[in-house]
Amino acid sequence: MNLILLGPPGAGKGTQAKRLEERFGVVQIATGDMLRAEVRAGSEIGNQAKAIMERGELVPDALITEMIAGRVARPDAARGFILDGFPRTVVQAEALDAMLKAHGLRLDHVIELKVKDDVLVERISGRYTCAGCGEGYHDRFKQPKVEGVCDVCGGREFTRRADDRAETVAARLDAFHRQTAPLLPYYAAQGKLRSVDGMAAMSEVTEALAAILSGQG
C-alpha cells in the first residue's frame, strides 16, 4: 500500500505517518527529515537547502526529485510507503507519477489532513523533540511526564527545528497555500483524494486514516 499524506506544516503528517508505519508495516518517507539529515551531514544537497529551509521556502523541485529518485524502489519500501512532505508542487507530483510508473508502482491513496491556519501556528511554534529518540513534545499540548526527561528514552536533551520560529511559520504556510494546495485538485482529478479532519484528537485522526487504508472509511 502506497500513500501520500498531504497537508500544511503542523497538520500532523509526521506523527500520523509514524503511527501508521507500525500498524500497517509501511515505511515513512519524509523529505523534510531527509533534508535535515543532509544539512547535518554537510552534504552538497544540505548546503544548498539550508538557507532556503531556514527562510521557510521550498527547495528547488530538481533537488528534491533527485534526492528522492529511487527511494520508493528501495527494499524497505517494498511493502508500501507513506510519503510525508512530498510532493509539494505539481512539478514534483508529475515527477512522482513518472517515478512510480518506471518502477511499476501505484499510489493507492492521497489523504489530505485539514487544519486551520491559526491552529497550525499554535501547534508548530510550541513543538520540540527528544534529541535521543525523536519523540515529539509540545509546550502546551504534550509535556514530558517528568519535566526535562523524555518519557520514551529518558533523554534530557531536546531540540527545536530552526524553521519552527513564528517568523518562519508564516512563510511556510504561504508556500503551502501557493505551491502545495494545487495538488488537491491534481489528485482529485485522478480520483484519489480523500480528506480527514486533522483538528480532531490525534487518536481519532489515526482511526480515520486507518479506516480509509483498510477500506472501511
Residues recognised as catalytic: 13, 88, 127, 161, 172
Q: How far apart are CA 204 and CA 210, in angstroms?
A: 10
Which among 70-78, 79-87, 111-119, 141-149 is the span making contact with ligand AMP, rule CB under 6 A? 79-87
Considering the rule CB under 6 A, would residue 65 count as an interface residue with ligand AMP? no
Considering the rule CB under 6 A, would residue 53 count as an interface residue with ligand AMP? yes
Considering the rule CB under 6 A, would residue 86 count as an interface residue with ligand AMP? yes
Of 7, 9, 80, 198, the residue at the interface with ligand AMP (CB under 6 A) is 9
Of 5, 17, 27, 58, the residue at the interface with ligand AMP (CB under 6 A) is 58
Torsion 85-88-93-96 (CA) sign: negative
Smallest distance, Å, CB 18 to ligand AMP?
13
Which among 52-60, 71-79, 147-155, 187-195 is the span making contact with ligand AMP, rule CB under 6 A? 52-60
Q: How far apart are CA 53 and CA 84, in angstroms?
A: 16
Q: Which residues contact 72 (CB under 8 A, 6 or more apart)?
A: 2, 29, 81, 99, 100, 103, 105
Q: How far apart are CA 59 and CA 204, in angstroms?
A: 33
